[in-house]
């Protein structure tokens, strides 16, 4: 005896497929690795650019040493120090994949002090002097407070050494 399987009746109704979202099919870890590679490439290109600017600025300083322009040479040296700190910030970013609060604050402080040196404190309006003082005080407070800020990434605690030094110095006193 033969058994036959009847074919389904075709009534031109579409067959419903289950709603499967498209996003589980994406390999997220691969996308993250590619984006991190792009970020690192940008940071490396910034490092190369900063290094080139530092070399050009040093060349300019050495060429201008014949003339005694103390004010301008001091401003140029401060500018190179700012570039060095920015370079250090990028190196920390490439090594640890984070932006250092301490280095960022140091760059801000040196930048403001450079502007004060370039313009001269006596030639600036009193409102700008007060604003500059308030900014420098807030940056100093941030430098002190950053020691107690918990690390943002697991395993990275840039202020750990400072905290340990404070504990050791209190223990010896």
Token pair 């209190």 in the structure block, residue = 170
Give per-residue pLDDT as tens, 26-67.
Answer: 778 888 889 999 999 999 999 999 999 999 999 988 887 777
Cα 10 to Cα 5, 15, 42, 123: the distances in Å are 15, 11, 58, 90
Question: Is the entire prediction scored with pTM above 0.85?
Answer: no
Cα 71 to Cα 2, 50, 110: the distances in Å are 106, 23, 16
Rank 37-51, 66-80, 158-172 by mean pLDDT and report only the highest.
37-51
């Amino acid at each position: 005896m033969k058994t036959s399987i009847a074919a389904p009746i075709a009534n031109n109704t579409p067959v419903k497929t289950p709603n499967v979202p498209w996003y589980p099919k994406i390999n997220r870890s691969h996308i993250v690795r590619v984006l991190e590679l792009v970020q690192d490439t940008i940071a490396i290109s910034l490092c190369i650019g900063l290094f080139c600017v530092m070399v050009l600025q040093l060349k300019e300083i050495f060429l201008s040493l014949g003339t005694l322009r103390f004010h301008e040479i001091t401003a140029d040296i401060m500018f190179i120090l700012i570039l060095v700190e920015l370079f250090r910030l990028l190196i920390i970013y490439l090594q640890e994949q984070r932006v250092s609060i301490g280095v960022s604050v140091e760059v801000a402080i040196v930048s403001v002090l450079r502007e004060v040196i370039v313009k001269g404190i006596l030639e600036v309006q009193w409102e700008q002097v007060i604003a500059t003082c308030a900014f420098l005080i807030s940056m100093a407070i941030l430098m002190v407070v950053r020691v107690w800020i918990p690390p943002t990434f697991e395993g990275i605690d840039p202020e750990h050494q400072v905290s340990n030094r404070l504990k050791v110095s209190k223990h010896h006193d």
